[in-house]
Structure 1
Amino acid sequence: MKTYYSPKHRLRQPKAELHDGQWVPSFESPERMDHILEALKARGLDEPLEPGGYGMDPVLAVHDADYIEFLASVWERWVAKGHQGDAVPNIWPARTLRDIRPQAIEAQLGYYALASDTTLTEGTWQAALAAKDVTLAATEAVLAGDSSAFALCRPPGHHASSSQFGGYCFLNNAVIAAQYARDHGKQRVAVLDVDFHHGNGTQEIFYRRNDVFTTSLHGDPEHAFPFFLGRADETGAGAGEGFNLNLPLPNGTTYRAWADALETALTAIEDFGAELLVVSLGVDTFENDPISLFKLTSDDFSDYGKRLGRLGLPTVFVMEGGYAVAEIGTNTVNVLAGFNAERG
């Protein structure tokens, strides 16, 4: 399995994030990638390849143009106003306020933000573009005939909607991959999100479509971020009715129940008739993850990698969350190695 990676992810260096009422070091750190790279090398997997550039058309196919303009210019505009430190939103168009697109950069931050957990920094836009290119390179490899590929991208993407950032996400890499596959000949594409947190952005972008099937296993949004999407009754709308499957699970879920939900998702993907699978590979379902609430062990990741391999679909793995930094490499590579073992 080829791995694609860009060191440009290091251009994003957030100073802190707001967590439990305090400013703490960001859980989404560059060191996450270092541990995965070390694990890939230790397990004898392919040396990572750097991607070429894919331009903006794949991005604008799924994200609103005004949102992309905001991301591309926010840092310079923030600094030009004399602000110190990272750009962080502090007001939103709440239910009692008009939902209008303001001109002030301070207000636009709230307009385009999902949450206050994610600051914008110098280099964020460049890192997000590199993550998009990493994902597209992996997708292109699979479209060209490889059975699978791994996009080791940072920042992650599945919380980014058509017009909002948050949850450490700016461009929705998995969605960009799925749309690129559709635009290059695949008629039916599935996105499987195994991150602890619901992929609200992925759901929103494809919610009214029947050519991309989306399914997610995640913490019950009654108790877990992003709270406002991810419930089981969200099954799609219009032409997309029946093409979104949410499988929320309670806090403390262990692998037996999680694996049962995975089999439900895999059966639905088979019934859909998917020609290509995009996996939003978050490994924050690990029992020691600091901001998640499931109880999977490192060995469990190997097993579910095998289950994904048995599906027999061309597969693009797209890196998402995972914040137990010391174990993120082992858990990520266990999924890939399990998949490889099953596919041969």
Structure 2
Amino acid sequence: MKAIFDDRQYVHDPKHFMRNGDRLENPEQPERADRLKAGAIAAGCDIVVPSDNGLGPIAAIHTSEYLGFLRTIHGRWTAVDGAGPEVIPNIHPPARTASYPSSPAGLAGYHQADTSCPISEGTWESAYWSAQTAITGADVVLAGGRSAYALCRPPGHHAFSDMAGGFCFLSNAAIAAQRFVAAGLRPAILDVDVHHGNGTQGVFYNRADVLTVSIHADPSGFYPFFWGYAAERGDGAGLGSNLNLPLPRGTREPEYQESLAVAFERIRDFGADVLVLALGLDTHVNDPFEGFAISTEGLGDITAAVAKVGLPTLLVQEGGYLSDDLGPNLTAALQGFLGV
């Protein structure tokens, strides 16, 4: 299996994020990429660099207004007297209506959903190459590869078409799915991160040409809190093309596999001919976010079950944070998918 990664994905180096009123060290650090690369190599993957496909495939998902914000906001922010080194919002609009601020502080509040997506000097460059990694992975599959692994860092599934959130800036899995749509295919996105893929859901919520399925911790008491409930089924043309399968905190393999079976049935009924697996490894029992209690072996069992669906599959890296298990968890997941 080819694993796609570019060294420019290291330059995003966020220092902090806010949780429960505390200013904590940001867990989405460049070291994640080192551990994930090591895990991919241990699984037998060949590391290749992505092609530069330009802004077009990214702008097919994200608004030009938002992309301009991501490209320029750090320079505008740091030019303000007394501004900190990272763009972190301190105010949000009561409704995202036609009004659009001009100040960096107002723009940050408009385009950043929370305090978990600080923008530093290298954020745009890394996010751009993370998206190109997903696009190149989709192209590998389109060229006849049955599967590919996109080591996307920073991750993407909390990014909406015009809003960052939860360590995410560009919606990598959505960008890859749109690449498949443009090629005439009918993709399904299966998100197995412990957090609901609210950005991915938001991108396709009104569309019938992409199925979005997410298995995640119950958002009534877990990030992202306001999205991810079972009643969210899509809207307009997309009604019935979104499926959320929330599970209790501490869920283990047997219960998780039951939800997987429901997800696979919906993917079959959708008539998908290609699959994007939003691969979160933060379901592991030792992940710092402590959502689920899946073992390393269980991660391999999950991806083995995904492989049995029999669709060409792009695995896109989402969560999974720093612990001694991160690299081995990816190795187990990739080997499970490959039947090693």
Judge same fold: TM > 0.5, yes or no: yes
Q: Determine if the alignment matches structure 1 residue 35 to structure 2 residue 72.
A: no
- Match of residue 276, structure 1, among 274, 277, 283: 274
1: CA distance, partners of 2:41 / 2:85: 36
Q: Determine if the alignment matches structure 1 residue 127 to structure 2 residue 126.
A: yes
Q: Which amino acid aligns with 1:253?
A: T
2: CA distance, partners of 1:100 / 1:222: 30
2: CA distance, partners of 1:17 / 1:197: 17
Indicate how the Cα distance of structure 1 residues 199 and 59 shifts in structure 2: closer, same or farther if over 3 A, else same. Answer: same
Aligned with 1:222: secondary structure? helix
1: CA distance, partners of 2:10 / 2:216: 28
1: CA distance, partners of 2:75 / 2:169: 17
Q: Is the 8 A contact 2:288 2:323 kept in 1?
A: no
Q: CA deviation at 1:130?
A: 0.4
Indicate how the Cα distance of structure 1 residues 98 and 148 shifts in structure 2: closer, same or farther if over 3 A, else same. Answer: closer
Q: Is the 8 A contact 2:40 2:334 kept in 1?
A: no
TM-score by length of 1: 0.96
Q: Is the 8 A contact 1:192 1:214 kept in 2?
A: yes
| 1:212 matched residue in structure 2 | 210
1: CA distance, partners of 2:120 / 2:22: 19
2: CA distance, partners of 1:15 / 1:301: 29
| 1:93 matched residue in structure 2 | 93
Q: CA deviation at 1:327?
A: 1.0
- Match of residue 196, structure 1, among 194, 197, 204: 194
2: CA distance, partners of 1:20 / 1:228: 16
2: CA distance, partners of 1:166 / 1:117: 6
Aligned with 1:81: secondary structure? coil
Identical-pair percentage: 41
Q: Determine if the alignment matches structure 1 residue 336 to structure 2 residue 334.
A: yes
| 1:264 matched residue in structure 2 | 262
Aligned residue pairs, count: 339
Q: Which amino acid aligns with 1:250?
A: P
Q: CA deviation at 1:324?
A: 4.0
TM-score by length of 2: 0.97
Q: Is the 8 A contact 1:220 1:251 kept in 2?
A: yes
Q: Is the 8 A contact 2:134 2:173 kept in 1?
A: yes
Q: Determine if the alignment matches structure 1 residue 172 to structure 2 residue 168.
A: no
1:145-189 deviations in Å (ceiling 9; x for gaps): 000000001000000001100100000000000001110121x11
* 5+ residue gaps, structure 1: none
| 1:106 matched residue in structure 2 | 105
Q: Is the 8 A contact 1:142 1:314 kept in 2?
A: yes
2: CA distance, partners of 1:146 / 1:58: 20
CA RMSD in angstroms comes to 1.3
1:11-68 deviations in Å (ceiling 9; x for gaps): 101121112322121111111111121222334x122100110101111111111111
Moved over 4 A (4+): none
- Match of residue 326, structure 1, among 319, 324, 327: 324
